[in-house]
Amino acid sequence: MDQLARAAALLGAGIAMGIGALGPGIGEGFVAGKACEGIARAPEHASLITRTMLVGQAVSESTGIYSLVIALLLIFST
């Protein structure tokens, strides 16, 4: 029974990281796409746009990192 629970945790780790990477990946790509548009239209504000893009992506990344943490916890601490 103990092994069954551990097996469920391992499967859960895979599913958590897999689905958890969906959102951040699409979201960050969306941010960067809009930043490309913005910089093309207003190249004089390139540094400002790049900074905003990176901050936005970092915040968007956080849920991906949560998934990674949960996946690692499920692999190593169960």
Which residues contribute to the site for another protein (CB under 8 A)? 2-4, 6-8, 10-15, 17-37, 39-41, 43, 46, 49-50, 53-54, 57, 61, 64-65, 67-68, 71-72, 75
CB of 71 to another protein, least distance (A): 5
CB of 12 to another protein, least distance (A): 8
Beta strands in 28-76 (DSSP E): none
CB of 20 to another protein, least distance (A): 8
The C-alpha atoms of residue 60 and residue 26 are separated, in whole angstroms, by 10
The C-alpha atoms of residue 62 and residue 60 are separated, in whole angstroms, by 5
